[in-house]
Structure 1
Amino acid sequence: MASSNTQGSPSALKTIPGSYGLPVIGAVRDRLDFYYFQGQDKYFESRVEQYGSTVVRINVPPGPFMAKDPRVVAVLDAKSFPVLFDMDKVEKKNLFTGTYMPSTKLTGGYRVCAYLDPSEPTHAKVKQLLFSLLLSRKDEFIPTFRSNFTSLLAAVESELAKSGKADFNKLNDVTSFDFIGDAYFGVRPSATELGKGGPTKAAKWLIWQLHPLVTLGLPMFIEEPLLHTFHLPPFLVKGDYEALYKYYSTAGKQALDMAEDLGLSREEACHNLLFATTFNSYGGLKVLFPGLLANIAGAGEKLHERLVAEVRGAVAEAGGKVTLAALERMELTKSVVWESLRLDPPVKFQYGHAKKDLEIASHDGVFQVRKGEMLFGYQPCATKDARVFGATAKEFVPDRFVGEEGSKLLQYVYWSNGRETEDPSVDNKQCPGKNFVVLVGRLFVVELFLRYDAFTAEVGTDLLGTSVSFTGVTKATSGPGSE
């Protein structure tokens, strides 16, 4: 793939096309295209079409006056994109949210792990803490998920009975927040002093960090100065953050003990735990489950029938229990989760500063990037690359990753900030919870089809992506879920 050792003479190198436009004016114009006139997908696709290249020079939001420099070299196909994962070629310091960085006042004064480059000593300590936490709690993931999401589906049925519709996103926000605390620490946030207000506090804190990259659907003349021009003041969410911190400092006592053994202070470790579990894990589930549900709903009853047969058959073979071994036998279920992550990755943008002069290969040429330039990838362009995924690249194909041929495509699934065929480590920036996310995605599908033979839903959009409301369910008539 992308390599600084690409064979060829200097004359074989192509000039990177594109334009940044006039200072300030060009970046503002592009930002308006990105948010209002074209939208994210069209913004990048139109530049690829305009310049005839999937490696282009463009501006990326937020631009003036939040970002020091909105100018990037965008890599927008499956072949060029993986350069962003190569720690020998790119630096990731302070680049989690890209060309701007939220105030550290939102994270207790610390640069948390997401903003650290692997070369920084604290990165390895924090990431090892997260690995240790996940390992220490692995036996709790299945029972805590089933307990929390059984309650969610019961609430769905209650709302359907009352009004004929059930807002999944609203229920998922509450349930996922409780599940994360229950799974990682054995303490549901709603059962503590934090109470039922945890998801609201977490959502406010998330918005304060992400507002330069979102649109609320308000008129442009309101959103531009409010969200995309200046940072929202951190003091307005200070109380919310302190309440979240208090929960993690108490519920996460065992994890904080592990952190001290790794050479981290309890305070720094707690801010990192809060960020990793609230921003990464909880924020990820707020995107993953609605997208997964919407894709399955849209695929219709034929897919539902296949999933019912696979899920209930594997669970029956396991003596009526949902086990890791049973999950591993559900090949279609796993493919459905991967396909949803391919189409709608929870984190769509990746960034890196070139550590040295690089030669980056796309499908159509080789381009030189100079040391210090910002590389940017819009993941949906790479994971919907028709040269890899064919004519159905933009469609939901449930069994895309089934079988030997399907498994070969997994190397092009990049949702975790790395290839699905690779593993996270302290030396890279791949999501430490990569396997956890795929596990809970499969568990979500299992819960649906142990309980229902089929369901229907309405799909829309919200602040973070997809919104879904159940409009009907057909309760299971046979198998483990019919009791």
Structure 2
Amino acid sequence: MSLTVSSLSPHPNRPIKSSISERSTTSPPFSSPSHLPMRKIPGDYGLPFIGPIRDRFAYFYTQGRDDFFRSRVNLYKSTVFRVNVPPGPFIASDPRVITLLDAASFPTLFDTSLVEKRDLFTGTFMPSTSLTGGHRILSYLDPSEPLHAPLKKLLFNLLSSRRHAVIPEFRRTFSSLFQTLETTLAADGKAEFGDANDNACFDFLGRALFDRDPKQTPLGSDGPKLIMKWVLIQLGPLLTLGLPNVLEDLLLHSFRLPAALVKKDYERLAAFFKESAGTVLDEAEEMGITRDEAVHNLLFATCFNAFGGMKILFPGLMKMLGRAGGKVHGKLAEEVRGVIGKGGGEVTMKGIEEMELVKSVVYEALRLEPPVPLQYGKAKRDMVVESHEAAYEVKAGEMLFGYQPFATKDPRVFERAEEFVAERFVGEKGEGLLKYVVWSNGPETETPTVGNKQCAGKDFVVLVARLFVVELFLRYDSFDIEVGTSPLGSSVKITSLKKASF
């Protein structure tokens, strides 16, 4: 199924189609197909307290996340196994999970007839609701809960009502971003992409979704800085900042950082949404959602989900495209300028949909480095989970966990699975692989609905990522970068920008 970017979200009145996340199951736990042998789930959790601490140190320090999982795949000869995942003591009471690391077993995590998603957005622990105005936000609600459907519908309605503003506001904001980078590059020989991108992303979201320039409000230019402090308090137990191991483990991974550290910052963010989202808040009340609950959900969806995703995705795109080299740059420049030229110089939804290579590189970036790499679900009943090679019995109440980059780099599905292949999703064969691109908490070929947990802004994120590539190659023939690491995604410095020559 091809993505239709002319509609940024499902229309609220459009009939909802059945999806992988909504298929009801009334039969007893399903059996393994005859060609898949039943196998006991390998792995163990070790001694209480000691096992989780051991695994936490391996995950963060002695092995690192990828090697932590890869070494166990090799040890157990299985992509399904038992292990403890961070943070463990004393933040999470039960760190035990069954890990799913292949494209066959991973989709179990999307099927809400099989798994419950209540309070599992960040996994084996949930940040204090003091960080979200005292509310359990949509991301933490299971579709069975009464507020899930109206809150998700509110986001669909917001995206649909503001779709006309996305392209012009994106172009205005990111044109200014690139001008700033050019000036910095000319003066210093290098330009740090991250901070400038953060400012542009938040300004764009304010104007595109709420018709409000954050800089013209009491928030000023502080939005991104406030958001990142707030996100750190929530995700600190899952991050590493490069501090000495023992100090970092005590500071971030053993005890919760107090919400009071960002109370004033959060109040400033909330005030922006109370002021800027008036019409959306009116609609929320008509839907039976209190204004206060709507404010904090809009804040979370905009700042944590949308801004956080763009903060990770855009530097990732710069990194992958920068490393892809001049040949790929030339093809993208030709496609982008050719389509825009045929359209009279205007960037339109229709034109973007015609850019097959642009679409492919965005999907490839989302495949290789999904913005939210960890997914969780608690088994609702006894069932069987199947990998490519075996079937495994899972008991009701057990926690399933997936590290998405392993599932989306499954060599049984993708050739040269670890590499960035710009044309991977071009053509009929490429489109057939889209069902394995699952960055949005569901397959790219599925649609977010009020009854599933797929990202409400799935189409919006893909659209703005395409717009980013379009804006980049309308302005430049090629560019060079230096790449580092950061707690969230990649750190990118631009070392050269070759302006468009045709």
TM-score, length of structure 2 as denominator length: 0.94
Secondary structure of 2:414's partner?
A: helix
Post-superposition CA distance 1:15-67 (Å, at most 9, x none): 00011111111110110011011111111111111101011000000011100
Structure 1 counterpart of 2:412, from 382, 387, 400: 387
For 2:15, the equivalent position in structure 1 comes to none
- Picking from 70, 79, 85, the partner of 2:110 is 85
Match of 2:127 in 1: 102
Between the aligned partners of 1:9 and 1:328, the Cα distance in structure 2 is 43
Indicate whether 1:187 and 2:212 are aligned. Answer: yes
Distance 1:325 1:369 in 2: 46
- Partner amino acid for 2:427? G
Matched, 1:282 2:307: yes
Equivalent residues in 2 for 1:58-457, closer than 5 Å: 58-390=83-415, 392-457=416-481
AA at the equivalent of 1:292 = L
Q: Distance in 1 between matches of 2:31 and 2:213?
A: 52
SS of the equivalent of 1:72 reads strand
CA distance in 2, matches of 1:54, 1:184: 41
Residue 497 of structure 2 is matched in structure 1 by 473
Query: How does the TM-score come out when normalised to structure 1?
Result: 0.97
- State how far apart, in whole Å, the 1-side matches of 2:353 and 2:197 are: 25
What code does the residue aligned with 1:463 have? P
Matches of 1:119 and 1:104, distance apart in 2: 20
> Which of the numbers 73, 81, 89 marks the counterpart of 1:56?
81
Give me the whole-angstrom Cα distance separating, in 2, the residues matched to 1:190 and 1:27.
Answer: 45
Structure 2 letter corresponding to 1:396: F
User: What is the CA–CA distance in structure 2 between the aligned matches of 1:132 and 1:442, rounded to whole Å?
Assistant: 22
- Structure 1 vs Structure 2 CA RMSD: 1.4
The Cα of 1:9 is off from its aligned counterpart by 7.7
Q: Percent identity?
A: 57
CA shift, 1:7, in A, is 4.0
2: CA distance, partners of 1:175 / 1:68: 39
Which structure is higher in helix share? Answer: 1
Distance in 2 between residues matched to 1:281 and 1:189, nearest whole Å: 16
Structure 1 counterpart SS, 2:455: coil
Aligned partner letter, 1:376: F
Q: Counterparts of 1:11 and 1:284 in 2: how far apart (Å)?
A: 37
Deviations 1:196-215 (A, max 9, x none): 11111111001010000001
Equivalents in 1 of 2:147, 2:200: separation in Å?
32
**What stretches of structure 1 move > 3 A for 4+ residues in a row?**
1-4, 6-12
Aligned residue pairs: how many?
477
Distance 2:417 2:340 in 1: 32
**Deviation at residue 10 of structure 1 after TM alignment:** 13
Deviation at 1:254, TM superposition (A): 1.2
- On the 8 A contact 2:37/2:389 being kept in 1, the answer is no
Deviation, structure 1 residue 6? 3.2
- Cα deviation 1:242-263 (Å, max 9, x = unaligned): 0000000111111111111211
**In 2: Cα distance, 1:16 partner to 1:280 partner:** 34
Q: Which moved more, 1:186-195 or 1:314-323?
A: 186-195
User: Residue type of the partner of 2:466?
Assistant: R
Q: Deviations over 1:434-464 (max 9, x none)?
A: 0001100000000001000111111111110
Unaligned runs of 5+ in 2: 1-19
Alpha-carbon deviation of 1:399?
0.5
Unaligned runs of 5+ in 1: 479-483
2:251 partner SS: helix
Q: CA deviation at 1:11?
A: 11
Contact 2:481 2:493 in 1 (8 A): yes
CA-to-aligned-CA distance 1:206-234 (integer Å, 9 cap, x gap): 10100000011010121011000000011
Question: Which digits, 9 at most, give the CA deviation of each residue in 1:254-307, with x for residues without a partner?
Answer: 111111121100000000000010000000000000001100000000000000
